[in-house]
Structure 1
Amino acid sequence: MSFLNGILNRLTSQSHSVDVLSNKPHANHGVKIGYAKINGEKIEIKTTQWDNIYQLGNCGKFTLSAEVIAHRSSDGEMLIGHHYLESLSRMYQEWKNDNLQLMRGISSNHFSWNGIVLDEKVVSEGTNEFPGATMGGSASCWVPTSIASDEHALQTSTSIALGNHNSTMYECINAAHPQENVLLGMVLTFHAGENKSLPVHFLNAGEILLKGPVEKKHFEISHLVISKPSDPTGFQALSYSGESWDKDLMPAALYDPNDTYADSGKEMTRDWMAKSAVKVSSLINPMDKITSADL
């Protein structure tokens, strides 16, 4: 009981706020510490193996960060912070209904690109199982996404898919150097729910984590982000339903955001751009048959 009392003492501190504690794992998990009201329903909140990560409900596949809890009342109710309540409530309802969809934009030079296109698997930076922020070399196994039902979710994921390309790649979306159908990135759509096996974590309203690696049965490539100089943005998201990812799409482009490879990098990038445009054009217009000379 000393562990549980310690958790409850922290939740009922004089400031009535929840401390965000260390990510040190411990064995005392699955202990009920309160409840939250979400969409009018009382949902148990339990400990996990991590001090600052809580389990929502009983199945163990939906967790949230301690910072989401703003206050704990004397009867055990743990109030969700108002900045998180709408997103968390909507996400939880979709998850309960087994129709939670999440999106992630991936640039065509991203480290995970080949794993997706060639191995049909989404991997993150490492193997650390703590569901925390995934940027900045965290070595986390969790994959960052956003809720697909968020307003402008597709536009946001499309913009993220532009990634850290080099200056040569970005030329294709410039009206001064127009080049149609260059493959700049992709948008992945993931599927999760109470009766599905993919663990989800509510980090904050803008970042939902999925425990990786994520297998193909849980996601698809729903859109290709391609150059379109005639569009005001210079790019567009093209709906995609293909299954032969390794045939339809190119392996990853050169990662050279700072143009370190100079002229050789430009040459490699331009060659890749031309080949990717041929492949994308054939997907848009299937009658445009690709020949070996094109690739």
Structure 2
Amino acid sequence: MKAVGACLCEKEVFRIGRHIMFSALNKALSSFTHRVGMSNQEAAGSGGRPIGHMSLNGAAVEVKSTQWPNVYQLGDSGRLTFSADLVSHRAANGEMLLSHDNAEGLARMYGEWQEDRLTLMRGISSNHFSWDGIVMNGLAASEGSDDFPGATMGGSGSRWLPTSMGSSDGALMTSSGIAIGNHNQTMRAAMSASQPQDNVLLGMVLRFDAGANQNLAVHFLNPGEILVKGPVENQDFAISHLVVSDVSNPAGFGAMRYEGTAWDADLMPAALYDPSGKHGETGRQVTQDWMDRSAAKMNELQQRRLLWRDVD
């Protein structure tokens, strides 16, 4: 057990050292990665021939083919696409019809896109595989590299990132709920009434601002899942909230507004990924140590006025 504990602690020290190193390197690399990222986004969905139209927000919008099978482009922008499977009927005049929910969601997304005010959110748990890339490199990425805007669950290999639409309290709560997922029992105990621990860093909520004059390529998969082409560099996303344990909240957690940045060592490397508890007592001790340090860091950020709870 001691050998395993030493191994885990050495890994933790290594991750912290790597965090500091990458934070310094990122400042030199940020301008280069931004140029690469813009090229990647601009290449998304170059567009093709007109294949029909649909009515969105009272206006006829042209629909075109794309470089991808079963994916259609909305309007003239190759950076705004949707799944062809959503089309429920094609009229003789070329008009494409969707179900009520899909049509309503797509119309909302298209309207906000046209007005450069499309807000997308993504919840990330503090033990998520992408956490270190975000806080060390300022890079939001998926596990895959395939350039196809498809479903991201089940090992699809897609480079596109799942998000949800909206910046309302409900949308924030949904993203916050996703951000607390996959933690082990030790971490989840901080949210319980029997063993509460305040200000443990459970996750974060990323905010992506998209629109006709923005950089991001966006794909409407369904009303509950909007995809953003990744990887996304730090110039094109922000950490809007940190999700922390909150003993005063009946849910056991809450989202705190964050005004720092992810790439200047303000945040910690990822927590131990051990949802099944396979590391036993050693995993529990490593997790508890991480929790204690994260709570101290959250208190520090509050004192620096970089983190606070919204007041209703």
Identity of aligned pairs, percent?
Answer: 56
Matched position secondary structure for 1:248: coil
Unaligned runs of 5+ in 1: 1-26, 288-295
Change (3 A) 1:214 1:44: same
Query: Hey, what does 1:292 align to over in structure 2?
Result: none
| 1:71-104: CA deviation from partner (whole Å, max 9, x where unpaired) | 1101010112212111111111110011111001
| CA shift digits 1:156-196 (9 cap, x unpaired) | 00000002000111011111111110000000110111111
- CA separation of 1:134 and 1:252: change in aligned 2, threshold 3 A: same
Q: Is the 8 A contact 2:46 2:78 kept in 1?
A: no
Report what 1:91 is aligned to: 109
- Whose Rg is larger? 1
Q: Which residue of structure 1 aligns with residue 207 of structure 2?
A: 189
Query: Any conservation in 1 of the 2:136–2:265 contact (CA below 8 Å)?
Result: no
Is it true that 1:202 corresponds to 2:220 in the alignment?
Answer: yes
**Are 1:284 and 2:277 an aligned pair?**
no
Cα distance between partner residues in 1 of 2:181 and 2:58: 40
Instruction: Indicate how the Cα distance of structure 1 residues 104 and 97 shifts in structure 2: closer, same or farther if over 3 A, else same.
Output: same
In structure 2, the CA distance between the partners of 1:51 and 1:126, relative to structure 1 (3 Å rule), is same
- Equivalent positions of 1:232-247 (< 5 A) are 232-243=250-261, 245-247=263-265
Do structure 1's residue 42 and structure 2's residue 60 form an aligned pair? yes
Q: 1:142 corresponds to which residue?
A: 160
Query: Any residues of structure 2 matched to 1:105-184 within 5 Å, and which?
Result: 105-149=123-167, 152-184=170-202
Q: 2:122 aligns with which of 90, 104, 112?
A: 104
* Per-residue deviation, 1:230: 2.2
Question: Residue 229 of structure 1: CA displacement?
Answer: 1.8
The 8 Å contact of residues 173 and 179 in structure 1, kept in 2 or not, is answered as: yes
Q: Provide the C-alpha distance between the structure 1 equivalents of 2:90 and 2:231, rounded to a whole number of angstroms.
A: 35
Query: When the two structures are superposed, what TM-score results if normalisation uses the length of structure 2?
Result: 0.81
Task: Give the secondary structure class of the aligned counterpart of 1:272.
Answer: helix
CA-CA distance at 1:150 after TM superposition: 6.1
Per the normalisation by structure 1, the TM-score is 0.85
2-side partners of 1:120 and 1:167: how far apart? 29
Q: Report the Cα offset of residue 130 of structure 1.
A: 1.0
Q: Secondary structure at the match of 1:103?
A: strand
Cα distance in structure 1, aligned partners of 2:153 and 2:108 = 25
SS in 2 for 1:83: helix
Q: Distance in 1 between matches of 2:168 and 2:198?
A: 29
Higher alpha-carbon deviation: 88-97 or 241-250: 241-250
Q: Which shifted more, 28-37 or 271-280?
A: 28-37
Shift of 1:249: 1.1
CA offset at residue 41 of structure 1? 1.1
Which residue identity is paired with 1:158? S
Kindly state the Cα deviation for residue 136 of structure 1 after the two structures are TM-superposed: 1.5
Kept in 2: contact 1:96–1:193 (CA 8 A): yes
- What letter is aligned with 1:76? G
Cα–Cα, structure 1 residues 196 and 43, in superposed 2: closer, same or farther, change >3 Å? same
For residues 78 and 244 of structure 1, do their structure 2 counterparts lie closer, same or farther at Cα, with a shift above 3 Å needed?
closer
Q: Larger helix proportion, structure 1 or 2?
A: 2
Whose RCO is larger (CA < 8 A, sep 6+)?
Answer: 2
Query: Residue 134 of structure 2 contacts residue 262 of structure 2 at CA under 8 Å; is this kept in 1?
Result: no
Q: Are 2:239 and 2:262, in contact at CA under 8 Å, matched by a contact in 1?
A: no
Q: Name the aligned partner's letter for residue 78 of structure 2.
A: G
The question of whether the paired residues in 2 share the 8 Å contact of 1:28 and 1:47 is answered with no
**1:148 Cα offset (Å):** 1.5
**What are the equivalent positions in structure 2 for 1:240-255 lying under 5 Å apart?**
240-243=258-261, 245-255=263-273
Question: How many Å apart are 1:151 and its aligned residue?
Answer: 6.9
Matched to 2:95, the amino acid is E
Tell me if 1:270 matches 2:288. Answer: yes
Contact 1:110–1:163 (8 Å) recurs in 2: no
Query: Which residue is 2:5 aligned to?
Result: none
Asked if the contact 1:223–1:240 (Cα under 8 Å) also holds between the matched residues in 2, the reply is: yes
Once residues 74 and 279 of structure 1 are traced to their aligned partners in structure 2, the CA distance between those partners, rounded to angstroms, is: 62
Seen in structure 2, the aligned counterparts of structure 1 residues 244 and 112 have a Cα distance that, compared at 3 Å, is closer
The aligned amino acid for 2:86 is V
Asked if the contact 2:119–2:165 (Cα under 8 Å) also holds between the matched residues in 1, the reply is: yes
Q: 1:125–1:138: 8 Å Cα contact kept in structure 2?
A: no
